[in-house]
Structure 1
């Protein structure tokens, strides 16, 4: 049997299970997804019971098969989600979805006590006041559902709840607390004063390092069980561990999150910028970040283009950068797309497509989207001298996206990495004692160098 580290990587849609060998090579994977259920207000939410059953059965099947010697297990999940348990460890409420609207009266009451809003958003690294800031869920429960709130023994962030399922030990860790929860005061490096005034610290378990693991006897096996990690911080970890020089990581997908773990002044100053946020590294150090609803908008606009030009739905996947089309558009550039899930000061009132070919319209679309991505990257770099830019996720193999970025950041070294395993690998690395060297990304992430195209 080969020694492996097991990781559950839980997304909103896909639930994944991986086994990695000592060199972090994937040796086994399993995927599933569940239909959402509804909470008491009819809002869609995670089927927590089905998730818990799947976790235990998948893990037990691996142990029973005796093909792999599982030495450790860890958990990476999406953030902004709490599981509330009573003194018997029973779950008290649904896993409230962070898209659930928060009663404005609750928000107003919170601000009356702990405003002004701008100062609060700045110190907590948040961009609004909603259930996306999971700390406000505790405030909402306390005042909207007091009978349930009284029964809460512990409120566990989702990664730590998954760990708790296996260990029975309630804990908190930095990456989940630092994920725009409104709980943490980045200026004090402690829970915000409102947490203590509302006495919420009594139901928030002891904070430990994300690298903490618990040696357990699990069904007769000695296994090291991690405390879990927030997925964005997890995806960043392999880069931080293997790259010695300063860099910025653009993690692309439905959301494009740009992360600068080296900012000298990471606390967000502009509280009107709803796309500037803070995350935390595993040691509690703040990470300056920006977000852009890039993949979501791309999906909407590409679908419209396919219909408009009556081409197959996968046409966009095969378009390569065309210098002639690019220069023709760039020479007389104007904004032509009206966004549906983004906003931009240059956005026209209606989309206009003067092109006869899909390829031309697609170039126009990518030039406009990359323009927004450039701003997002520049905002996160600020005045700092950072010469390395890494791109991973869905857009890392989009030829136009990468060539346009490379062209606009000619003074930076642009690298792409191919890792659908990003957050899962980070979770495995976070509980490992092994050191990563500079060749790690090349070996495990198909690291590619990109040079700007030549301007004729």
Structure 2
């Protein structure tokens, strides 16, 4: 039974948007505010607008304090991001992981990074391997880097700003950083080589209260003086959290700017570095086989800015006429080394481009799930649940039969939560809570020629 009847605030910073959600003790959303996650392009390199987020967050917390008594704030953020701080704040701006690091650094870092067999962290472009960012900052800005007292993963940076207590946490440390060994649950050889052990604060569970809100912030926002600040968690692991702990967890598709296919319980020995397959760490420290691509970014590249929702007839036409989107349309994922493009007749209008993008996403997700060896139930969370055709297309591509956790083996469930990260953040505060998985089992979309279309798409991707 939940004893504390105060609300929870989840700070969810995704790559595209930041969101603050006020949630009741029973898991009901009371309020939600968003703002763009802006990248600033002034010196010394492209970086996150942390001060903009901070000001917006304090203003929003002030408004939320007038709506409900608040017992805890839970930070949830995207991965591949860290903050270098001293006792007063940032010693360098928080680098944007899409920044293309210099070529000479990339070559040098290739010799420093740990072996994939130990880190299960594939070599990724730009700054998507956090270790690469940190090595570059250490060498390009030695004086500033030397001032750092702590390296904080991004959720823990926001927790530190709110309560003043520094911590480390495994879900962000284990997110293709090259800094962690998921299978051994310890830091990697890179941390030893760079002499960084002392910069990482003590590990804490994601649900651990680090402290109470700083007194000045409580006075400024009107939040209670005893409002707790939790350690926080990586966003796709927040989505995964409520599906763990059963006898056989389903695979989870966390969808948004990034699409993460997570396969709890699957072995790590089938992961392939060149396919952008990796081991994340669950909130409990256990390795989770994953595969991902920039699905939201690629959907936009195919559908265009003025996307118009398609009909089943539009999907059928794209399949029948043999129009294919062949990956990749972003510099990440299993086909990142290939330039994306269209094969076959051009889509006639915005609705057909939306249909083509939807087919592409379903095919890519099916490809990732198959590569991970997933033959059971799949739960779809996040932005793609707002697409009425996606889950039904994916269900048509997956093999039926059996049962996993009440969901048919091979079945696809689309949740009613467009942000599984928010529920996961709430669960960190309400570990005795029992959120019901609200959603529906998707009925396979019957499209003539879909299986042949998939086979041809696989042939094109192999070429």
- 1:307 matched residue in structure 2: none
Please state if 1:47 is matched with 2:42: no
* 1:454 to 1:53, Cα distance in 2 relative to 1, 3 A: closer
- CA deviations over 1:208-267 (Å, ceiling 9, x no partner): 1112113526446212220111111111112225x553311112223221111221x135
The equivalent residue for 2:79 is: 79
Q: Does 1:166 align with 2:165?
A: no
Query: Where do 5+ consecutive residues of structure 1 fail to align?
Result: 305-312
Q: Is the 8 A contact 1:268 1:277 kept in 2?
A: no
Question: 8 Å contact 1:52–1:165 — kept in the other structure?
Answer: no
Counterpart for residue 257 of structure 2: 254
The answer for unaligned runs of 5 or more in structure 2 is 219-223, 401-409, 449-463
2:225 to 221, 225, 229: 221
For the residues of structure 1 that align with 2:337 and 2:135, how far apart are their CA atoms?
36
Decide whether the 8 Å contact of 1:5 with 1:21 is kept in 2: yes
Cα shift at 1:126: 1.9
State the partner residue of 2:424. Answer: 426
CA distance 1:303–1:202, shift in 2 (3 Å): same
2:382 pairs with 1:393? yes
Corresponding residue of 1:22: 25
Q: Equivalent residue for 2:122?
A: 127
State the number of aligned residues.
Answer: 423
* Contact kept? 1:321, 1:403, Cα under 8 Å: no
Please give the residue correspondences for 1:105-184 in structure 2 after superposition, counting only pairs within 5 Å. 105-114=104-113, 120-129=115-124, 130-184=126-180
Q: 1:194 aligns with which of 190, 193, 202?
A: 190
TM-score where L is the length of structure 2? 0.81
Aligned partners of 1:101 and 1:29: how far apart in 2?
A: 34
Q: List per-residue Cα deviations over 1:346-391 (Å, max 9, x = no partner).
A: 99976431777877776565445433321111012x2x6x421111
SS at match of 2:32: strand
Q: Which residue is 1:297 aligned to?
A: 298
Name the CA distance, whole Å, in 1 between partners of 2:160 and 2:121: 27
- The alpha carbon displacement at 1:18 in A equals 1.2
The one of 35, 40, 48 equivalent to 1:32 is 35
Instruction: Provide, for residues 116-158 of structure 1, a one-character-per-residue CA deviation record: whole Å limited to 9, x for no partner.
Output: xxxx233222222542111222222222221112111111111
Q: Distance in 1 between matches of 2:123 and 2:11?
A: 30
Residue 340 of structure 1: how far off its partner (Å): 5.7
Aligned to 1:69: 69
Kindly tell me: are residues 322 and 403 of structure 1, through their superposed partners in 2, closer, same or farther at Cα, counting changes over 3 Å?
Answer: farther
- SS of the residue aligned with 2:155? helix
Counterpart Cα distance in 1 of 2:129 and 2:414: 31
SS state at 2:30 partner: strand
CA contact (8 A) 2:263 2:288 kept: yes
On the 8 A contact 1:74/1:427 being kept in 2, the answer is yes
Question: Structure 1 residues 124 and 318 mapped into 2: Cα distance closer, same or farther (>3 Å)?
Answer: same
Query: SS of the counterpart of 2:76?
Result: strand
Which string of whole-angstrom CA distances, capped at 9 and with x for unpartnered residues, describes residues 293-317 of structure 1? Answer: 333232222239xxxxxxxx453x1
Pair member with larger Rg: 1
**Cα gap change, 1:368 to 1:198, in 2 (>3 Å):** closer
Q: Does 1:235 align with 2:239?
A: yes
Contact 2:328 2:338 in 1 (8 A): no
Q: Structure 2 vs 1, CA of residues 124 and 322 (structure 1 numbering), >3 Å: closer, same or farther?
A: same
Alignment deviations for residues 10-68 of structure 1 (CA, whole Å, 9 cap, x no partner): 22332211111111110122223365322424x432111222233333324433x3x41
Distance (Å, rounded) in 2 between the aligned partners of 1:85 and 1:362: 44
Using the TM superposition, name which of 220-229 and 27-36 deviates more. Answer: 27-36
Q: How far apart, CA to CA, are the structure 2 residues paired with 1:62 and 1:208?
A: 28
Pair 414,56 (structure 1): closer, same or farther in 2 beyond 3 Å: same
Conserved? CA contact 2:6–2:70, under 8 Å: yes
Distance (Å, rounded) in 2 between the aligned partners of 1:356 and 1:34 = 33
Q: What is the rounded CA distance, in whole Å, between the counterparts of 1:114 and 1:178 in structure 2? A: 14
Shift of 1:319: 1.1
Name the CA shift for 1:405/1:345 in 2 (closer, same or farther; >3 Å). farther
C-alpha distance in 1, partners of 2:339/2:11?
41
Say whether 1:210 aligns with 2:206: yes
Q: What is the distance in 2 between the residues matched to 1:327 and 1:54? A: 45
